[in-house]
Chains A and B, each alone.
Chain A
Amino acid sequence: DTAVSQTPKYLVTQMGNDKSIKCEQNLGHDTMYWYKQDSKKFLKIMFSYNNKELIINETVPNRFSPKSPDKAHLNLHINSLELGDSAVYFCASSQSRAEQYFGPGTRLTVT
């Protein structure tokens, strides 16, 4: 029983395409996040949702759009993919300010 799951685990696509990454948590947490880990291994927050409401939206191109259909899901849609979007994307969840539980990551490669 995976606590935080992401699909797909690997995603290879061409520049200009649109893709989505799905995230689900079965922990009953009220907050979900998307992080990007770039080539320098820096884990940077992109978005945070609390009870389906966007509460953090860091400086991220508006080609990235999170969607939270319910408390247990936070999907990430990316339009017009660029080479610089290649990274590992992690979904996470937490109960308010408590420690976060991370998914296994989605390695996105844009060619």
Chain B
Amino acid sequence: DQQVKQNSPSLSVQEGRISILNCDYTNSMFDYFLWYKKYPAEGPTFLISISSIKDKNEDGRFTVFLNKSAKHLSLHIVPSQPGDSAVYFCAASTNTGNQFYFGTGTSLTVIP
């Protein structure tokens, strides 16, 4: 039973435009959410996180939005750059343990 879902396996965006990656979760006990970026033949690298006490967190070109009532989070990248082309995973955890649940990833292609 997958508690974190990324329903779009792929996304293509023109360079300079906004990329919006979406993630849905089912467990209302999740209180900490993260986004990771993964290049081929490498491990995922941490990008940005958000706690459930906030609804937005920004870091440079990356902004994560959290809608707790909809159990939905999104990652906005603006402006998108070709180097952003990678697979993006969202992950979530509860405050009771060290386990992170990952989505299946969205492959982003930024077209020059």
Selected interface stretch from A60-68, A70-78, A97-105? A97-105
In the bound complex, how far is the Cα of B104 from the Cα of A40, in angstroms? Answer: 8
Interface size class of B (residues with CB under 8 A): 20 to 34
B102 lies within 8 A of chain A by Cβ: yes
Residues of B within 8 A of A4 (CB): 43
- A104 with B104: in contact, given A94-B98, A99-B46 (CB under 8 Å)? no
Which of chain B's residues has its CB closest to A48's CB?
A: B98
Which of chain B's residues has its CB closest to A99's CB?
A: B46
In the bound complex, how far is the Cα of B98 from the Cα of A101, in angstroms? Answer: 14
- A45 contacts B44, CB within 8 Å? no
- A41 with B34: in contact, given A56-B98, A90-B43 (CB under 8 Å)? no
- B89 contacts A43, CB within 8 Å? yes
B23 lies within 8 A of chain A by Cβ: no
Residues of A within 8 A of B45 (CB): 101-102
- A45 contacts B87, CB within 8 Å? no
Residues of A within 8 A of B43 (CB): 4, 90, 92, 102-105
Residues of A within 8 A of B34 (CB): 99
Which of A42, A100, A102 has the largest count of B CB atoms less than 10 A from its CB? A100
Apart from A45-B100, A99-B49, list 12 A-B contacts with CB within 8 A.
Answer: A33-B98, A42-B104, A43-B102, A45-B99, A94-B98, A97-B98, A99-B34, A99-B46, A102-B36, A102-B44, A102-B45, A105-B41
Q: Which B residues have a C-beta under 8 Å from some C-beta of A?
A: 2, 32, 34, 36, 41-46, 49, 87, 89, 93, 95, 97-102, 104-105
